[in-house]
Amino acid sequence: MQYRDFGKLGWKASALGFGCMRLPCTDASGRGQSVDEALAIRMIRHGIDSGINYVDTAYPYHDGYSEVVLGKALQDGYRAKVKLATKSPVWLIQKAEDFDRFLDEQLQKLRTDHIDFYLLHALSEERLGWVAKYKMLERAEAALRDGRIGRLGFSFHDGPAAFAKVVDAYDGWAFCQIQYNYMDTDFQAGVKGLQYAASKGLAVVVMEPLRGGALADPPQDVRAILDGSALRRSPAEWALRWVWNQPEVSLLLSGMSTMAQVEENLRVAADCAVGAMDAAELEVLARARAKFSQRLVIPCTRCNYCMPCPSGVDIPLNLELYNAALMYDDLRASRFRYERFVPAGERASACTGCQACAEKCPQKIRISEWMPKTAALLGAERQQERRG
């Protein structure tokens, strides 16, 4: 296992962290009680025995059951071997006291008296207002003083312009967690956010290095490029090595669902290094990225000229999710993000067809025609569930 400086904290993190959002389950639902608890515990402990020293979960993962399983996995001396990270469910806090209520519940579920790295979950520019309204930072600082948490950070799922605002909103951030992979260099925080956080001395934890598994099982035309290299690597290994190649990355979280995935990731993490990929390897991934990009249906560049929408629709984000569903042959992931990260009033379904965006788009995209298609594609599964 390779180890890296975790920001300016004077502690070295394993290059690979164990993410507990995709624990093995006995059925495809991924619901809490379907977690294969015995297998999950074996996988987590095997990872720790092999050098992983950072484990990550969150209040909502597996309907709240992820924290329970991880708490069990860290018994028998394993808690002392790792730094434990979990997240405060910011969107559920409705009064200041809720911060402590959730934190104390998490401590109980995790069977510990302290959480080493505590994150405000999925911060955005809008949610900064909630943080201030419900005095979450003041509550967090009290928890830092009494030892219930060791360091405070945040995870992020907003646009690039919002990232710097979140970083600069509080001087006490020790670390942040961002989505980052070879396809998401300009998505959410992106490479600029990665570099900005690192320049501020924050440790940067990378999530979704495989984009929810899409980069581990790419479409056949992309796979052909990766398989055509003389280096016999799986698509997952290509993607992981690319992230570890970045000097600003403190550690990479992988949500592992099988023991085989744990073994592969441990093997790759054992010899990863900053700057280890040569020009020929980077060219392979550049061609894979270009092939993915050719699968784009809507030529949106996220220039934001169409914004603000009179109806409140987040036009670029909706088009991004539509494109992603087709680029990665992964409709489920885009539907999940549409439901989880796009507020109801900002979804494509809120479009009124006013066409105010039509004159502003430099790409001449017929946005008002794409919005109902996007709503039909990304909202269909949820609508079917409600009808059922």
Question: What are the pLDDT digits (tens) for 190-229?
Answer: 999 999 999 999 999 999 999 888 899 899 999 999 999 9
Query: What is the rounded CA–CA span in Å between residue 118 and residue 127?
Result: 17
pTM of the model: 0.84
Give the pLDDT confidence of 135-183 residue by residue, as tens digits.
999 999 999 999 999 999 999 988 888 999 999 999 999 999 999 999 9
Phi, psi for 255 (deg, rounded to 5): -85, 95
Q: What are the domain boundaries of the chain?
A: 3-284, 315-387
178 strand-pairing partners:
206
| Digit-coded pLDDT (tens) for 77-94 | 999 999 999 999 999 999
Nearest to 337 by CA among 211, 239, 190, 166: 211
Structure tokens given for 52: 């992983």
- What mean pLDDT do residues 42-66 have? 96
Q: Which residues are bridge partners to 23 per DSSP? A: none
Strand boundaries in the chain, DSSP class E:
3-5, 12-14, 16-19, 54-56, 83-88, 115-123, 149-156, 175-179, 203-207, 251-255
Q: Phi-psi region for residue 28, left (φ > 0), alpha (ψ -120 to 50) or beta?
A: alpha
Right CATH number for 3-284 from 3.40.50.620, 1.10.3720.10, 3.20.20.100, 3.40.50.2300? 3.20.20.100
